[in-house]
Structures are given as C-alpha cells and as structure tokens.
Structure 1
Amino acid sequence: MHFWKKTLTILTVGFWLASCESYVDKIDEIDPTAPVDAPIPALLTATEVNYQGVMEGELARLAGMWSGYFTGSDRQYVALQNYNTVSADFDGAWGNIYAGVIKNTRLLRQKGQAAGNRSVQGVAKIIEAHTIGMTAALWGDVPFSQASNLAQFPNPTYDNQTAVYAAAQTLLTEAIADLGTGQGSLTGDYMFGGGRTFWISAANTLKAKFFLHQGQYQQAINFANNGIKNPGLNLFGYHDNEYQKTYNLYYSFLTYDRAGYMTAEGAYAVKLLDPGDRLTRNNSKTNEAARLNWYYQQGLNTFSVEPNVLSARETGFSWGVAADGSEDGFFAADAPFPLVTFEENQLILAESKARLGQTEAALADLNLLRSFYNTGGFIPEGWLGAGIRYAPYVLADFQSGGIENRAGLRSAEQALLLEILEERYITLYGQIEAFNDIRRTGNALRIPANVGNQIPRRFLYSQAEINANSSAPRPTPDLFAPTAIFR
C-alpha cells in the first residue's frame, strides 16, 4: 500500500444501537402528537431526505461489500460479508423505500395536482422513478401499481420487473413534461434549489440508466445525450456536521454508529487503484494514486485500510487534517453523496456506443470524462500531490500489445469495453449501481466473490413484507436466484 497515512481520533460520545434506517412497526397507528398534514415545501424536503437515505444508506453499504468496495470486519458485518443474511435484515430498507419515499412521492403528486403545481409533481415523479427502478433492480418483481395504498390494496400485488422498469420510464417522461411547463414553485427542494432544468437533465440520465440496464443501448444514448452534460449539474445528497441529523451516512456509520464493523481490508477496488498492487489499473497514461487516497486511508478507526472519513469540519474529532477541507475524504462528515451525475452519464454513453460497435465515439466519450479527471475532478486538492494522470487513450492502446491489451487475448473493441466497465466500477464507488453492473454484465470484470464462486444475484424480500402481504412470492427466491432482467 502506498497510502498517505493520516490519523483520525474518534471520541465516542454515544452509541446508536438501532439501525441507521430503522423500520417502524405499527406505522399506521394514530399518534396524537404527530402532524396529520404538511405543506408542500416541508413534504418535499422530507421526501428528498428519505430518498437520499435509501440511495446512500444500508443498501449501498451492503451492495458495496458484495461488489468489492468494502469488507465486513466485525460483528454482523462479517456475516453479511460472507452472504449470511436473512429476510429480516432487509426490513428497514424495505420500509424506508415504501413508507419513506413511495408513500411521500405519491402524496406530493396529489398535493401538487390539487395546487396546480406541475413542477413539484415532476420532482416527485423523478424521485419515485429512481427509487422504484433501483428497487426492481435489486429485488426483481416488487409492489408498485398497488403500493402504499393500504386502504384499497392491503395485499399489493407484485408487478414483474420489466413492468416496473416501464412504469419508471413513464414517470420520468411525465416528469420531464411537468417540469418543462415551469408551473409551480419548488420551495423546499434542497438538492437542486428549485432548478427545473437541472432536474430535467437528471431525469434524462435516469432514463438512460434504466435503458442501459435492459440492454436497450440506442435508447440509452438518445436520453444520455440530453442528460447531465456538465459536472456542475450533478444531483447530490448534501450533508453538514450534526450527528443523527445531517452527517454523511457513511461517515456516521463508520465513525459513530458502527466503528470498525466495515473496513476495506483486501477489497478489490483498493487493489485496482493501488499503483503497487499486481492487479492495478494504473499504466503509463493513468495514475490513480490521488483517487486511491481520496477513497481510502489506513488506520483511521481501525488498523486496517478503511473508507476515507477524514473530516476537517467536525471540530474536535479529526486531527492532522488540513483545516480548509483540502484533505477531506470521500466520506467526510459533510461530503455530498452522488445520486445522478455527469460521470455516470458519460459512461452510459461510452458503454452503449461500445456495445453498438461505435468504437471511436465510445473512446471519445471515455476521454471526455478522463479530461475532467485530469483536472482533478472532485478530488480535494490535498490529495492531488499523491499523483494524478488521465491522459487520453487512443485506439492503439486497446489493440494487441497496447497498454490496455498487452497479452492480446481480446479484440480492441472488447478491451475498450472492459476499460469502460472498469471505469464505471471505480467511478461509481460507494453507490448501489456497481452491484447492478456486476449482475447485468455477467461479472465481466471478474470481481471475486467473498465466499464460494458466485456473487449474490439479488437482495432478499423483507420478512415483514412476507409476513404481512399475502401477495409476496412463495417460495421466496434466495440470494443466488437471478432476476428476469439481470440473468
């Protein structure tokens, strides 16, 4: 390892025993102290918070452990690392998806319609589409058309995975039209500050993502062409410095809630980034040392390699870190979390064109992203001294004997596609999407399984859902049963 070592001292002032995203039993019981209604701005803010939590929370951590980003190192995370999990482990995430996001987006849509506010309807549809699309990606068939309407549908049916993807696409199409009208206020939108064109770009990138999932590459290109084309337009989940309120969820988990439970010791992504490892992706045109140090550090909360949570702004808990934030980690306390980005949009274009045989165009899209990285991208300035280089590739680099195909065991087209997939893997660090990529590509990158010879093919249905919904699949599929789309 050639890490720049920093030291992070954590004083544990409290230990949160419940899951970061706990599922609340008896959620439908009347609480006389709870509000019975909320104005659109407050509901929009709350819905965005819940949406961010689904994308950034426990699902992302588990997907990351099963994708080679992280390592379960203590207590129940050792079991999860080794694929020892049960349906009850997914109760919290399932509840957050349906009670925290889908129920709220539908209420927002109703309120927006009643108020003649098409803009808020559009944002609600984007959040709902992204959430349910990823839910279908992770579980396969899921409730959607009858979901979150207990009075009318106490046992909501499970729509098949393809139908849910189609429904997500319809929501995104409607959202683009809604936002295009400019009707209504987006007060309460902390993600894009009410920027309708930003949301429209994100919706197009999400449409491209879901077409990519289904192998509809020309459609993916068509919508990515209208997607996020500038890193300044990225959709992030934003954070600040209050524990159990505004912390980056990875930071909270790794430094307060479950310190030491999840590290990155032996993680595959670390090996790819490390210039000194035999598996390194570094070459004469690529120096990943800066990104390695931004993503990972050694000896923060444990003696292992860990996700980088260095955080200058949390006064009193971080030592030896530049006070200006120039050495903050990817998972700093106030670090924004990527939800829909320019980087992913460029890689959707590159992969889709490569798969359609548009080799030169695919390479141009990859190089456009590399040119952004070569300026430092989002890596804090303090890490750039470790080494950074993303020179443009040429087709010869992927031909037999080239730096990306030295052994000549594949065609130039195949070598380029693998480089694009590997760039997706490194770029989408910490996000759920890597787990989707592994399954939809047949693990083209050969990410090693944690146990045995295969990586799980889905998440387990929630035990609470199985117990309460007679429509839940029976028998329930196990971890290694592929979904219809990702076979």
Structure 2
Amino acid sequence: MKRAKIIRMAGLFLMAGMISCESMVDNLNTDLNNPTDASATLLLTGAQLGNVSVQEGHLARVASMWSGYFTGTDRQYKDIYSYNVTGASFNDVWQFVYQGVVGQMKLVIDKSAATNNRLVQGIAKITEANALGTAVACWGDIPLKEAADITKFPNPAFEPQIQVYGELQALLDEAIADLESGIGTSPGVADIHFAGDASKWKEAAYTLKARYYMETKEYALAATAAEKGITTAARSWMMVHGTTLNVNENLMYAFIARNRVGDINSSLALAPKFLNPASATYKGNAKTDETARYNHHFITLSTTGVVIPVSPNTNSTTTSRGLFGQSAPYPMVTYSENLLTAAESQARTTGFAAGLAKLNIYRAYLNAGGDLDATYKTGTYKYKYEAYATEDFASGGMLNKDGITADQALLREILLERYVTFNGQIIGFNDLRRTRTESVGVKLTPSAGSVLPERMIYSEAEVNSNTSAPNPVPGVFVKTAVNAK
C-alpha cells in the first residue's frame, strides 16, 4: 500500500511538471489513506519530485533560451526568448521551490528529528539546498530563514544573495554531518534518487558545495569541495525517467516533442555551432571529434513540411535516444560537473598544470563515451578526446591561435567545455553570467537588443502578497550581487 501511494504521488508530481505552465499539486502533504497526516518518507518523495520540477521544468527552459542552447519560436516562449517576460511566468516555479520543496522538507526534517533519523534529515537538507541554491542563483535575494512558515512569518524577509549562499553552505555541512553520523533508517525507494545511500548523498552534497562556491567566485573553496565530490558517473545525481505518458517522462521531451511542439527549437542557438563539425565555429580539433556528442544533443527536425535546421534531440527509439529523449535521465548534480569544477577552480587557484591535469581526466572520461547515451557509442558516430599537452596552449598552439597567455587559453577551453556539457541545464546560465565580464569564455550575442539577461523576474504572486518583497522589483537586466562584484 505504501509503495502504491509513493508511485501515485510521483505520477501526480511529474504530470504537474510536464504541462506548459507547471502548477502545484494541491494538498501535497496529505497521506492518501489518512487525510490528516503523511509519513516523512511519503513527504520526501513528493518534495524530491517538486525539486525535479524546479531543476528540469520551466526554469530550465528559460535558462536554456537565455544561454544559447534553445530558441523560443512560438507563443510565450518566443517573447521570453526576446527577454519579454513578466513575474507571472515564474509563479509556478516559485511555488514549487517554497511550497513543493522547502515547506515539505521542513516537515520531513521535523518528523525525522522526532525519531532521530539523521539519514533522512541529511537527504532532506541536501534536496532543500538544491532548490534554494537554484533560486538564489536565478533571482538574487530570496526568503530563507522565514520561508514556508506563514503563521509566524506572513511576509518572509528577503535575505541578501551572498548571505543566503553562506547559509546554504552551512545547511550542506549540517547534512554531511547527519549522513556521517550513521544514525537513521533508510527511506529505501521513497528516496527516488539514491534509495537512501548515504555515501552517494554525501558526494552530491560536496559537489553542490563546489557549485555554490563557484557561483560566489570562491574558487579555492570550490576546488577543496570538489575533491570530495562525486567520484564516478554511476554516482551522479540523476532524475531517472521512463516511457509512461504523463507519468515519468523526461520533462524536456514532454514539452518540446509532445505538449508544446513548435514552441522551442535550437535554430538560432550557439551551442550546436560549437559541436557541429560543419560549423565555422566548431570546437573540435586534431585531438577532438564532437560528431557523436553533436548528434546526441541536436537533430534536424521536420514538422508540417518545414525543416528546422537544428533542434534539441528528443529522439526516443531503441537505436537513437537523444539527450532529451522520452526516457533520457536528466542531470541534477553530476560527475561531469564535479570534474569540470575541479578543472576550472584549480586552473584559477593552483595553476596551469593542475587545471590541465583535471581537464585531461575529464577528456579521458569523454573518450570512454562520457555522458553519451549508449545508442551513440555504437560506432555510427565518431568521438575522440585525446589528452591535451602543454604546448597545445602555448602561443600559436592548437588551442591558442590568438596568442593569449597559456593560462587564459586553458581557462577558455575549460569554460567552453562546461558550456557544451551543461546543455539544457540552469547551471549553464549561471556560468555565463559569472564569467561575462572576463576576457575569455563563451560570449553570447543577445537575441534581442544589446544587453543580456542577468536574472529571472520575481514571482508576481509573491511580489503582490509579500510586503517584504523587493521594491522596486529588479528587472531582467539587473545583475545579482555575486555577478556585480
């Protein structure tokens, strides 16, 4: 019976995340057999799925359009692509963060504390930190300490962005201590990501810590955290998907290929130009063949007789499953991210040799197939990622034709690799804003006007109902504090 309730709740949450305007599931904290209460494990499942909708749903689509991964071509996505967006567009996402994740995880933590189940508390804290970390990166100042307690705090205060990042680091430290305690009963399948595996959650927590240190430009701390982060691809935090219609599909697939066909493609995007061997800006070279990754990420699409030059790959057959295929897993916090964070942070702090060594570890992973779906490792499409040598980055070398310093050439290559790796993820948008004023890195051309977006717009519902909300509300082109420094 308990398993059936979990499955049903999971289906409801994923269906909510797949519709064009995601909306919250009513009475999330209601046990289907007991309308007055719910167990900590059932709440955990629902809140984890709420976090999936934060990471993989509307927010990720907007971030991808504003990062050169996707092109908005119809209805409201055409306007959003051109930066014409209002707070109403983010009402559902804001609700997912605060009602769907933060509010529910507070209940999970309280219920688990009552039984001294520190394992479940640790899992809940990491999931909450993931949702709030995405929110603080995208919006800047957000509610934290006073959030999700409307009785005590009907108008929760917005805390400064940099302060929130520090509090999330502390929350993750608490979670790691909980996991290291060895105290608590596993939630089993109620934990939809790692089935209660404390060692995997601990590694994910350290990679999240490294992510947030990168976003605050504390690169030495990021390097230290990454050394304790995710150690293999099999230990990555992924959202596993299936092929049941409106229940467990990849949310990108459901939107792009089924629910809102024609709203999004990649016809004007930058990312496919870096991966396409036929492109003038192809990032491949004598040691790098991106053919397989290009075909895994992007396809030529034909709808109603019109050929679209390139679109996110939503192929879902047994011989071709694209990055956004129906059952393709979606990356939450991964081994690839951890390796690339180690490479960039060490290149910036320890030096060239350390950064190159980490980059070559990642290239060895790619050369063994990396994050490619198994259907792109069959030999039909080529891929090659040989180790780079110091001379490749020297002035006039293969990766330094424009004569910049070797350090800058290495950083440029790492940032470019992060960019194409994070296709379809919010962290790609975070990277672009973090490095926008630096001399090297990925330089995006605005899709409208002459200025690039710097943040999401605060939820209209929150602004209208919370007297503590920022006034005036910062516009999409106003930098957040971490990117203004």
Distance 1:32 1:375 in 2: 46
**Root-mean-square deviation (Å):** 2.1
Q: Evaluate the alpha carbon distance shift between residue 138 and residue 334 of structure 1 in structure 2; reply closer, same or farther with a 3 A threshold.
A: same
- The separation in 1 between residues aligned to 2:71 and 2:242, in whole angstroms, is 26
Alpha carbons of structure 1 residues 66 and 300: separation in structure 2 relative to 1, 3 Å: same
- Residue 29 of structure 2 contacts residue 43 of structure 2 at CA under 8 Å; is this kept in 1? no
CA shift for structure 1 position 19: 3.0
- 382, 388, 394: which one pairs with 2:383? 388
The one-letter code matched in structure 1 to 2:218 is: Q
SS in structure 2 at match of 1:69? coil
Match of 2:51 in 1: 51
The change in CA–CA distance for 1:245 and 1:28 in structure 2 (over 3 A counts) is closer
Structure 1 residue 255: Cα displacement: 1.7
Q: 1:100 to 1:287 in 2, by over 3 A?
A: same
Q: Which amino acid aligns with 1:261?
A: D
Q: TM-score, normalised by structure 1?
A: 0.91
Kindly tell me: are residues 29 and 326 of structure 1, through their superposed partners in 2, closer, same or farther at Cα, counting changes over 3 Å? closer
Question: Could you tell me which residue of structure 1 aligns to residue 339 of structure 2?
Answer: 346
Amino acid at match of 1:104: Q
Larger RCO (CA under 8 A, 6+ residues apart): 1
Q: Deviations over 1:400-419 (max 9, x none)?
A: 111111121x1110010010
User: Given that residues 71 and 81 in structure 2 are in contact (C-alpha distance below 8 angstroms), is that contact kept between their aligned partners in structure 1?
Assistant: yes
Q: How does 1:112-261 map to 2 (within 5 A)?
A: 112-184=112-184, 185-187=186-188, 188-261=190-263
State which of 398, 408, 428 in structure 2 corresponds to 1:414: 408
- Contact residue 251 and residue 332 of structure 1 kept, 8 A: yes
Aligned to 1:85: 85
Check whether the contact 1:205–1:227 (CA below 8 A) recurs between aligned residues: yes
Aligned residue type for 2:20: S
Query: Does 1:486 find its partner at 2:483?
Result: yes
**Are 1:274 and 2:268 matched, yes or no?**
no
**Mapped partners of 1:196, 1:28: distance in 2:** 26
Unmatched tracts of structure 1, length 5 or more: 1-13, 313-324
Query: Which of 303, 311, 315 in structure 2 is aligned with 1:306?
Result: 311
Shift in Å at residue 243 of structure 1?
2.1
2:75, 2:116 → 1: CA distance?
A: 51
CA distance in 1, matches of 2:37, 2:31: 13
What letter matches 1:303 in structure 2?
Answer: V
Question: Separation in 1 of the partners of 2:93 and 2:405?
Answer: 42
* CA separation of 1:300 and 1:342: change in aligned 2, threshold 3 A: farther
**Structure 1 pair 113/255, CA: closer, same or farther in 2 (3 Å)?**
same
Name the SS for the 2:481 alignment partner.
coil
In structure 2, the partner of 1:398 is 393
1:350–1:361 contact (8 Å) kept in structure 2: yes
Identity, % of aligned pairs?
A: 41
Question: Is 1:372–2:365 an aligned residue pair?
Answer: yes
C-alpha displacement of 1:61: 0.5
Query: By how many angstroms is 1:332 displaced?
Result: 1.1
Is the CA contact 1:354–1:362 (under 8 Å) kept in the aligned structure 2? yes
SS of the aligned residue for 1:299 comes to strand
Q: Distance in 1 between matches of 2:131 and 2:90?
A: 16
Residues 326 and 380, structure 1, Cα contact 8 Å, conserved in 2? no
CA distance in 2, matches of 1:31, 1:467: 31
Please give the secondary structure, in 2, of the residue aligned with 1:303.
strand
Deviation digits for residues 183-221 of structure 1, max 9, x if unmatched? 112221120121100000000111111111111111111
Deviation at 1:357, TM superposition (A): 4.9
Check conservation: 2:41, 2:108, Cα contact below 8 A: no
Distance 1:296 1:18, change over 3 A: closer
How far the C-alpha of 1:22 sits from its partner, in A, is: 1.7
Summarize the Cα distance change of 1:390–1:463 in structure 2 as closer, same or farther, 3 Å threshold: same
Which structure dedicates a bigger proportion of its chain to helix? 2
**Structure-to-structure mapping, 1:281-360, within 5 angstroms:** 281-299=283-301, 301=303, 303-304=307-308, 305-312=310-317, 325-360=318-353
Instruction: For 1:42 and 1:24, locate their aligned partners in 2 and report how far apart those are by CA, in whole Å.
Output: 14
Is contact 2:19-2:255 (8 Å) kept? no
User: Quick check: 1:207–1:220 contact (8 Å CA) kept in 2?
Assistant: yes
* Residue number among 428, 447, 465 corresponding to 2:422 in the alignment: 428
- Relative to structure 1, is the Cα distance of residues 429 and 29 closer, same or farther in structure 2, using a 3 angstrom cutoff? closer
User: Aligned partners of 2:164, 2:55: CA distance in 1, in Å?
Assistant: 18
Shift of 1:271: 0.4
State the partner residue of 2:11. Answer: none
TM-score, normalising length from structure 2? 0.91
1:344, distance to aligned residue in structure 2 (A): 0.5
Q: For residue 331 of structure 2, give the secondary structure of its aligned residue in structure 1.
A: strand
- Separation of aligned partners in 2, 1:282 and 1:419: 11
Tell me the alpha carbon deviations over residues 204-248 of structure 1, each in whole angstroms, 9 at most, x when there is no partner. 111111111111111111111000021111000111112221110
C-alpha separation in 1, matches of 2:39 and 2:367: 45
> Which residue number corresponds to residue 462 of structure 1?
459
Select between 209-218 and 261-270 the one with higher mean Cα deviation: 209-218
Moved more, 114-123 or 381-390: 381-390
Write the letter of the residue equivalent to 1:276: A
Q: Distance in 2 between matches of 1:32 and 1:280?
A: 53
The answer on whether the counterparts of 2:277 and 2:284 sit within 8 Å (CA) in structure 1 is yes
Distance verdict in 2 for CA 1:261–1:220, change over 3 Å? same
Residue 236 of structure 1 aligns to a residue whose secondary structure is: strand
| Higher alpha-carbon deviation: 289-298 or 354-363 | 354-363
Residue identity opposite 1:343 in structure 2? S
Please state how far the C-alpha of 1:145 moved relative to its aligned partner.
0.6
What SS does structure 2 have at the residue aligned with 1:277? coil
Kept in 2, the 8 Å contact 1:300–1:306? The answer is no
Contact 2:296 2:313 in 1 (8 A): yes
